[in-house]
Amino acid sequence: MKKYSYIKGLLLPLLALTLVSCDDFIDINEDPSNPTVPQLNLLLPASQLSIAGNFDNINRGASNVVQHRASGSLNRYDQSGTTFQNAWLGYYTEAIPDLETIISTGTEQGEWGYVAVAKLQKAYLFSVMVDVWGNVPYFDAGVAPNPTFDEGEVIYDNLLALIDEALEDMGRGFNVSASADLFYQGSRENWEKMANSLKLKMYLTIRKYDEARARQGIMDILQAGNYIQDNESDFTFQFGTNTAPNARHPWYSSGYAPGRDGYVSMVLVDRLQDQDDPRLRYYIFRLNEKAGLANSQTGEGYYGRYPGDGASSPADQNTRAIVGVYPAAGLYDNGMMPSLGAENTFLTNEGATTGTTSNSFKIALFAEGDGTGAGILPLITNSMMLFSRAEAALTLGTGENAEELMREAVIAHFNVINSVSPAFPISSQTTDGFTERLGAQFQSLDEEGKLRLVMMQKWISLYGNGVEAYNDLRRTGYPELQELISPLDVFPGRFYYSETELTSNISVIDIREQLQRDQQIVPVFWRR
């Protein structure tokens, strides 16, 4: 994981003014302070900031759909044309134009490293966009004023070819400035691993759509072996600690602000407690150790909401539980949990403080890595790859040991948590015991039960990336969601388009109402 910051609110606008597209450069003088040629070493970090910064919009929505969080309209399956408008506009007006400029300018200049990285970022970004929106403008994006919406399966085919192009470009030469690359600091080796990991993820995504192609594609990647296999190669965005401009994790910025931001998911809390999972202390921080549901004082601090709860919010900003040390680098909860007993082996009160969690607040506030907001955005990680390989072994017969892969995936995730919170690490004894128990549980299940267990553990580990959990849920049906208290619509098959796009793009204006409704009820192509 790399120590670089997402500069929100200030750096992106400044970069946007500096890093305009080729058409905005006017060739009048060769003034070094006003370059007439786009600067690749400035465009690349701008594109990366945009990809990470705008991801939060779709990530929050997806996290509510998959019950990692419990806030916003999608907590009740309700969405509108403004729900994801920020991400849509951000990608089509910031990230995508910058990437196309890097590709075209880099090709002219023979800067194949920048070209390759831009193509890989484009492939990742559009794969996410197809996954959540389905058909999107692709071939005409940034070229035509009213781009057509291309079929998702056609885009996927093109993206897989684009990844291969990027790998070929790397063979022509790779010289990317470390300071310009916020993800991998100019490491060709890590970008190659990311490329093949992205391909593996995409092949697994389409396994029900084209099983033979998915199996062969994954087998080829596994045989070559050049994909993410350690946490140091994770495709992860590292947030910073600055407050002006705000470089902190967006969940931290909103969760630790006086107004708070929504509620923690009681489904997540319940499942972690039921499974004796030590990650509960890292995922959730309790502001009031006695707070219970509906702002009562008869609980043990886990004051959140169940999915589909449409009740109005009382004045409870000082009693709601909030995001903890992972993934947002908030605070570690070392307070007592009265409900824990002798049957709890890994989620225990050992070393916990008595009284209220204000005790742990004071301790954690000054602990290394805690309470800073310098969290992470996990996009493609070693843990995700291990879980994906376990799923492929169970469903595509790739020949790998699914149990071993699942256990390694959980260990990898525990290690990531420890890197975010070095002052309060999960012990090796806990890690070993927890994964050994998972292995024994796995062996006792039938094939469907094994897949269910793998996907439950992946869902827990994906806290912080609801988009991938949303994809997994639609592809596998696991883990089962809890029934909503008061739904406003059906489970969303896809996310709504930007209303601005539908009311300004003449290629879809006449069909925009049906097009938008189809987003809710028609599944993405790879789910059919």
User: Can you tell me the distance from the alpha carbon of 221 to that of 196, in angstroms, rounded to the nearest whole number?
Assistant: 7
Q: Region 168-193: what's the mean pLDDT?
A: 98
In 10 A of CB 487, how many CB atoms? Answer: 15
Q: What is the CATH number of domain 376-476?
A: 1.20.120
What CA dihedral angle connects 89, 90, 92 and 98, to 10 degrees?
A: 160
Opening angle at CA 206, ends 494 and 119, nearest 5: 85
What local confidence, expressed as pLDDT, does residue 143 receive? 81
What local confidence, expressed as pLDDT, does residue 371 receive? 87
What local confidence, expressed as pLDDT, does residue 357 receive? 54
Give the tens place of pLDDT for each residue, 289-335: 899 999 999 999 999 999 999 999 999 999 999 999 999 999 999 99
Does the structure show a pLDDT above 80 at 8?
A: no
Burial tier of 111 (Cβ tally within 10 Å: 0-12, 13-18, 19+)? buried
What local confidence, expressed as pLDDT, does residue 95 receive? 97
Lowest mean pLDDT among 6-15, 174-183, 208-217, 265-274: 6-15
Residue ranges of the domains in the chain?
248-372, 376-476
Contacts with 293 (C-beta within 8 Å, 6 or more apart), sequence order: 266, 299, 303, 304, 305
In 10 A of CB 41, how many CB atoms? Answer: 13
What local confidence, expressed as pLDDT, does residue 258 receive? 86
pTM of the model: 0.92
Of 335, 341, 352, 344, the C-alpha closest to 285 is: 335
What local confidence, expressed as pLDDT, does residue 366 receive? 41
What local confidence, expressed as pLDDT, does residue 34 receive? 53
Of 516, 471, 502, 527, the C-alpha closest to 132 is: 471
Does the structure show a pLDDT above 50 at 475?
A: yes
Q: Mean of the per-residue pLDDT values for the chain?
A: 91
Q: Region 449-469: what's the mean pLDDT?
A: 98
% of the chain with per-residue pLDDT over 90: 84
Does the structure show a pLDDT above 60 at 21?
A: no
Contacts with 132 (C-beta within 8 Å, 6 or more apart), sequence order: 58, 62, 84, 467, 470, 494, 495
Give the tens place of pLDDT for each residue, 28-84: 345 554 567 899 999 999 999 999 999 999 999 999 999 999 998 999 999 999 999
The DSSP call for residue 295 is G
What local confidence, expressed as pLDDT, does residue 478 receive? 98
- Structural contact between residues 90 and 50, judged by C-beta atoms closer than 8 angstroms: yes
Does the structure show a pLDDT above 60 at 20?
A: no
Give the tens place of pLDDT for each residue, 255-282: 998 888 889 999 999 999 999 999 999 9
Does the structure show a pLDDT above 50 at 15?
A: no
H or E element, residue 235: strand 235-238
What local confidence, expressed as pLDDT, does residue 525 receive? 98
Give the tens place of pLDDT for each residue, 401-439: 999 999 999 999 999 999 998 989 999 999 999 999 999
Does the structure show a pLDDT above 50 at 365?
A: no
Lowest mean pLDDT among 6-20, 212-226, 404-418: 6-20
- Structural contact between residues 422 and 325, judged by C-beta atoms closer than 8 angstroms: no
Does the structure show a pLDDT above 60 at 362?
A: no
What single-letter amino acid sits at 342?
Answer: A
Does the structure show a pLDDT above 90 at 356?
A: no
What single-letter amino acid sits at 35?
Answer: P
How far is C-alpha 8 from the chain's CA centre? 17
Does the structure show a pLDDT above 50 at 4?
A: no
